[in-house]
A and B are shown apart, each in its own frame.
Chain A
Amino acid sequence: MPISINHQPYDLPDDPRVSLLDFIRHDAGQSGTKKGCDHGQCGACTVLVNGVRINSCLSLAVMHDGDEVTTIEGLGTIDQPSALQKAFLEHDGFQCGYCTPGQICSATALIEEIRAGWPSDATGDVEQAPKLTDEEIRERMSGNLCRCGAYPNIIAAIREVAETEL
C-alpha cells in the first residue's frame, strides 16, 4: 500500500534512510512541516499519523506503509483555516512562525487526547480523567519549542479552542 499524505497517495521511497519529515517536504512537496533540530527535541516536525502526533524526523518513511499522514496543509486552508489556525492568528500565537505548523498539529492532537481521557504528568491523580487546565496544556505542549517565546499566546489560543470543543 502507498503512504497517504493529506489524502494524496505516494509510493514509498526506494532509499529506506528517508525520514518521514524529508519525505513529506521533498517527495510530497508539502513544505509546511518544518525541520528544526532533526533529533526529536523541538517538535517543529510534528505531524499526525492516523490521528496520532509524532515527530516525523524520528520515523522512516518506509515504516508508514498504508498510513494516513496529516500535516498542517491538511488541517485547513487560507480560505478555510481550522479553529486552531484562526485562534493562533487572533492570539498572536507566533512571531517568526517556524514552529507554528508543529504547534498546531500538536495542539490538534492534544484536544483529542484530552477528549480520550489520556492522563499527563500534570494530571495529579492518573486514575481520574484530565481537566483542561493551563498546567495540562503546558505539560502536553512541552515537546514543541518556540524560541520566539510566544508560549502565553499559544496557551491562550489552545485554551480557547479546547474550551469550545471539549
Chain B
Amino acid sequence: MKPFDYQRAERLEHAGQLVADSGAMAIAGGTNLLDLMKLQVETPATLVDLGALPLDTIAEADGGLRIGALVTNTLTAADARIRGEYPLLARAILAGATQQLRNKATTGGNLCQRTRCYYFTNIDQPCNKRDPGSGCGAIKGIARLHAILGTSDQCIATYPGDMAVAMCALDATVEIAGGDGSTRSVPVRDFHLLPGDTPQRENVLEDGDIITAVLLPPPVSGQQIYRKVRERSSYAFAMCSVAAIVDQADGTITRADLAFGGLAHKPWHDPRIGELLVGAKPSLTLFDKAADLLLENAQGYGENDYKIPLARRALAAALCDATGLTA
C-alpha cells in the first residue's frame, strides 16, 4: 500500500472540503477501497474517513424511508421496515458478499463499489478504466463475468453489486451533498454511467461530492423477487441477477418494475419492459418478448456469450416466481 495521509471528517462540510482535493478519497466501510489500495489500483494521497458523520440511521421520510449513507448493509437488511415493505432490498443485500463484509459495507460505499474485472484489479494488465488509453484486456481476453449490455470498445466491465439493482427496481433516489454546500438528488437509475469513452467515470459524483442517503419511495403492493445466478451458492458475484416488483389484478399485470445486475456497467433498467408487461396476462410467450426487448442489443465477447440465454431464462424464472405462473 502506498503511503497516504489519514483525515477524520468531523462534519459533513468538513468532509466535503477534504474530499474536494483531487488526490483525496472518502472511506466508509473500506472493504472495497482498502482491497484496491493493497493492489495499488487506488493510490490516494489522502483518505478522508467519513465514519464519524451522523449518517448512520434509517428514518421515515415522505412516506418512504431515508437510509443514511453510513448505514451498514447488515442493518439495512435486518431493519423490520425494510424486511416488511421492501423485502426485495433485504434479499438483494443478503445475496451479496459475506456477513463479515456486510457488517462493514455501507449504503454509500456499496453504490460506489468498483468492478471485479480481472484487468482492472491487476496493475500489470491494460485497463482503460484504471489507466485511460491503455486498452481493454477483457474484450479479447478473460471475459466470463463481463457485460453484454451497454458496452463500448473501451470497456466491458460490469457493476458488481446487488443492493443497487434492487434500489434501481424500487426507483430509489441518491441524495448527494456537493462540495459547495448544495444538495441534489439523482435517481439510482441515473447514478451509474455507461462506459462510453470515459470508463474511468463510473457514476455522476464530482470531486467534493458525498453521498448522504438513499431515499426509498413509498412502498408498493405486489410480489418482490430477487433472483441471482452465481457460480456457487454463497459469496459470489452475479453472473446475472433480476430484481422484480410485479403486481396483478384479475389475472392482469398492473405493475412491473424490473432491474438487472451482472449484465452491464450499471444496474440495468429498460422502461420498455415494464410497458410491455403492464396490462398483459402472464405467459411464457410474454416473458420471452420481455427478454427480446432486454437483449435486443446484447453482445457477447466469447467467454460471456452464455449470459445472453442465461438472462432470458433468469428473467422468465423471476417473472414466473412473481406472477405464480409455472413454467
B-binding residues in A (CB < 8 A) = 15-17, 19, 38-40, 43, 46, 52-55, 58-60, 62-63, 106, 109-110, 113, 116-121, 123, 126-127, 138-140, 142-143
Contacts and interface: CB of A to CB of B under 8 A. Distances in A.
Contacts of B100: 40, 43, 46, 53-55, 106, 143
A16 to B, nearest CB: 4
Given A38-B38, A106-B99, 14 more contacts: A17-B3, A52-B103, A53-B99, A54-B104, A55-B31, A58-B104, A59-B34, A60-B6, A63-B51, A113-B99, A116-B78, A118-B78, A127-B83, A143-B100
Contact of A55 (B6, B78, B94, B101): B101
Contacts of B221: none
B98 A143 contact: yes
Interface-central residue, B38, B99, B103, by most chain A CB under 10 Å: B99
A63 B101 contact: no
Contacts of A55: 31, 100-101, 104
Given A58-B30, A119-B83, A139 B234 contact: yes
A60 B77 contact: no
Interface in B60-98: 74, 77-78, 83-84, 87, 90-91, 94-95, 97-98
B186 to A, nearest CB: 28
7 A-B pairs with the lowest CB-CB distances in the bound complex, closest first: A143-B98, A142-B234, A16-B6, A121-B94, A118-B78, A142-B235, A126-B90
Nearest to B85: A127
A54 B101 CA distance: 6
A120 B34 contact: no
B30 A119 contact: no
Given A16-B47, A118-B74, A140-B99, A60 B38 contact: no
Contact of A43 (B6, B35, B98, B103): B98
17 contacts: A16-B4, A39-B35, A52-B103, A54-B103, A58-B34, A60-B6, A62-B6, A63-B49, A113-B99, A119-B90, A120-B99, A126-B87, A126-B90, A139-B233, A143-B97, A143-B98, A143-B235
Interface in B1-19: 1, 3-6
Contacts of A117: 78
A17 B94 contact: no
A58 to B, nearest CB: 5
A78 to B, nearest CB: 26
